[in-house]
């Protein structure tokens, strides 16, 4: 350990203000308010401040302001103190004289592990997804061990994106592109809606500058009108609820993130009037029963649009998202014309569903849920672990990339077993993929399928909501090699190949015997 306390200068605390105008006192206040370990956070801050000394970032700020901003972001998400301390220390081993073992002897194994994970993730430069496999692999290994590593990395990246202006153009674009192509899809896959939106919106102007300018010129003004409408509409709904004695936890307006609006515009011939979830009213009530009740009340006071009611409570989205959605016409007093009101989306959910939707995997480490914070049973972690188990060796790179692309960057469908269990599969999956997802034996022995009570063929492309029943041939022990031509999942492909290899080996062995 380096004895730097007497010789190294540290920047004065009064100069250490983040881009949001916040300081270490704001961080300590948040921790104090929840009776957390204020001393630990103070210690980690002082340690990192001493380690970074008078280093400055390209923006001119003292370096320590950057980890401070990342820690503040995570504190607002309600993350535990180990995570906050690790966020404060995350650039210490990489950028200062202090080593990881210095951090470990001062702060213990858990915090050192988190810092190490973040450090490792930052060591490769992004030059397009195809050269990126090794980095993705590292990311998944540390995430599967402890998902807090990726949360710190996200907070680190978001602060970097917010201060990107100070960097040369080439570096700016590289960081923004990596955030858009890698980090945002992973945040989405982990169910972290807010983080995903931030990563995308901050990267957008650097990756697609002209498109971003077009959005600002043509779309944002109309978007802002809609936001103004929403606040009037919200007041009206609150009054209606009050008069009818409907109780709720909260009602909030939300507007779509800019980049996700942009992507939706591309799918809709750039026509804003075709997009119905530009703004939404989010109603939080305290039970599932009340969600359905509230939906009824909404339809009583506002006329719903046909075919826009979605029950993601009974049928959650693949990433775990739950809510009731409906799209309605507001009353005529909010009208753009005198024919009908404005179209607005309503989302109804419980506080638990809300936490899941905003924080996803992070919800498990949120302070108030400390009791369950070590629960590794989260299906999103299982998913990562499964990916790694299927590719134990690092030289299996092209295949790993294939899997990553399928499993992270593709869309998903969800289908049902005859018993009603939900099975998640990548788009364009077939009954054979379904069978292997449930059990290897079911895949090996599968000989036919019924889809929604109709006999189908094994290479049919499944759609969300299909009920899939597999027929078994008990005498069959091996999958058919032909299936390789249409299966979509990695599991199915792998099992079929393995069986073919075994069979070839048996043939070979038998030949040697004779």
Catalytic positions are: 94-95
CB of 369 to Mn ion, least distance (A): 27
What pairs with residue 468 in β-bridges?
451
Q: Which is nearer to Mn ion, 80 or 156 (CB)?
A: 156
- Determine the distance from the C-alpha atom of residue 436 to the mean position of all C-alpha atoms in its chain, rounded to a whole number: 26
Q: Which is nearer to Mn ion, 156 or 201 (CB)?
A: 156
Using CB under 5 A as the binding rule, whether residue 91 contacts Mn ion is answered as yes
CB of 295 to Mn ion, least distance (A): 44
Q: Residue 193 in contact with residue 216, Cβ under 8 Å? A: no
What pairs with residue 250 in β-bridges?
284
CB of 152 to Mn ion, least distance (A): 9
Q: Residue 6 in contact with residue 50, Cβ under 8 Å? A: no
Using CB under 5 A as the binding rule, whether residue 433 contacts Mn ion is answered as no
Site for Mn ion in 330-359 (CB under 5 A): none
**Other Cβ atoms within 10 Å of 20 Cβ, number:** 10
How far apart (Å, rounded) are the C-alpha atoms in residues 486 and 489?
A: 10
Q: How far apart are the first and last CA of the chain?
A: 68
- Residue whose CB is nearest to Mn ion in the complex, by number: 156
CB of 91 to Mn ion, least distance (A): 5
CB of 247 to Mn ion, least distance (A): 44
CB of 117 to Mn ion, least distance (A): 13
Using CB under 5 A as the binding rule, whether residue 61 contacts Mn ion is answered as no
Q: Which is nearer to Mn ion, 88 or 324 (CB)?
A: 88
CB of 100 to Mn ion, least distance (A): 15
Q: Which residue has the tokens 């730097």?
A: 4
Q: Which is nearer to Mn ion, 160 or 234 (CB)?
A: 160
How far apart (Å, rounded) are the C-alpha atoms in residues 183 and 177?
A: 9
Helix (H) or strand (E) holding 400: helix 397-409
> What is the size of the binding site for Mn ion (CB under 5 A)?
2
Length of the chain: 514
53, 39, 60: which is closest to 91 by C-alpha? 53
Helix (H) or strand (E) holding 329: strand 324-329
Maximum pairwise Cα distance, the chain: 90
**262 burial via Cβ count (<10 Å: 0-12, 13-18, 19+):** buried
Q: Which is nearer to Mn ion, 154 or 359 (CB)?
A: 154
Q: Which is nearer to Mn ion, 183 or 367 (CB)?
A: 183
What pairs with residue 343 in β-bridges?
329
Selected range binding Mn ion among 71-79, 88-96, 169-177, 274-282, rule: CB under 5 A: 88-96
Q: Which is nearer to Mn ion, 87 or 230 (CB)?
A: 87
Tokens of 477: 């022990």
Site for Mn ion in 140-169 (CB under 5 A): 156
Transcribe 330-349 into DSSP letters: PPGGG-SSSSS--EEEEEEE
Point out which residues bind Mn ion (CB under 5 A): 91, 156
């Amino acid at each position: 350990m380096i004895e730097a306390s007497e010789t190294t200068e540290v920047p004065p605390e009064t100069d250490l203000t983040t881009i949001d105008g916040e300081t270490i006192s704001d961080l300590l206040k948040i921790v104090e308010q929840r009776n957390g370990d204020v001393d630990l956070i103070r210690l980690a801050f002082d340690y990192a401040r001493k380690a970074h000394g008078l280093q400055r970032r390209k923006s001119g700020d003292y370096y320590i302001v950057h980890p401070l901003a990342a820690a503040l972001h995570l504190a607002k998400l309600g993350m535990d103190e180990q995570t906050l301390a690790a966020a404060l220390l995350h650039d210490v081993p990489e950028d200062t004289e202090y080593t990881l073992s210095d951090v470990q002897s001062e702060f213990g194994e858990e915090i050192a592990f988190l810092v190490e994970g973040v450090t490792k993730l930052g060591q490769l430069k992004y030059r397009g997804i195809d050269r990126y496999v090794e980095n993705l692999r590292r990311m998944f290994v540390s995430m599967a061990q402890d998902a807090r590593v990726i949360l710190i990395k996200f907070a680190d990246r978001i602060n970097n994106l917010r201060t990107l202006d100070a960097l040369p153009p080439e570096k700016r674009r590289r960081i923004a592109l990596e955030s858009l192509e890698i980090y945002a899809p992973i945040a989405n896959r982990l169910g972290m809606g807010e983080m995903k939106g931030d990563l995308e919106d901050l990267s957008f102007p650097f990756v697609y500058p002209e498109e971003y300018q077009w959005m600002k010129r043509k779309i944002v003004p109309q978007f802002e009108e809609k936001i103004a409408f929403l606040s009037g509409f919200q007041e009206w709904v609150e009054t209606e609820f009050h008069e009818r004695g409907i109780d709720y936890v909260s009602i909030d307006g939300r507007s779509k993130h800019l980049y996700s609006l942009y992507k939706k515009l591309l799918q809709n011939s750039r026509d804003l009037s075709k997009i119905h979830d530009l703004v939404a009213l989010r109603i939080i009530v305290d039970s599932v029963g009340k969600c359905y009740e509230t939906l009824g009340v909404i339809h009583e006071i506002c006329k719903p649009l046909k075919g826009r009611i979605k029950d993601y409570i009974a049928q959650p989205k693949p990433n775990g998202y739950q809510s009731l959605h409906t799209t309605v016409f507001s009353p005529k007093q909010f009208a753009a014309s005198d024919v009908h009101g404005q179209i607005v989306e309503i989302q109804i959910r419980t506080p638990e569903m809300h936490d899941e939707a905003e924080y996803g995997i992070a919800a498990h480490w949120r302070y108030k849920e400390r009791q369950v914070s070590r629960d590794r049973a989260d299906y999103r972690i299982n998913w990562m672990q499964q990916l790694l188990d299927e590719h134990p060796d690092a030289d299996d790179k092209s295949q790993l990339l294939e899997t990553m692309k399928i499993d992270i960057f593709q869309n998903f469908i969800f289908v049902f077993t005859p018993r009603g269990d939900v099975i998640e599969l990548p788009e364009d999956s077939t009954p054979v993929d379904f069978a292997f997802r449930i059990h290897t034996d079911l895949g090996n022995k599968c000989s036919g399928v019924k889809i929604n009570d109709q006999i189908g063929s094994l290479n049919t492309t499944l759609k969300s909501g299909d009920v899939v029943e597999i027929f078994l041939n008990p005498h069959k022990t091996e999958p058919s090699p032909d299936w390789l031509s249409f299966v979509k999942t990695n599991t199915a492909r792998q099992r079929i190949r393995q069986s073919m290899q075994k069979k070839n080996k048996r043939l070979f062995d038998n030949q040697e015997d004779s």
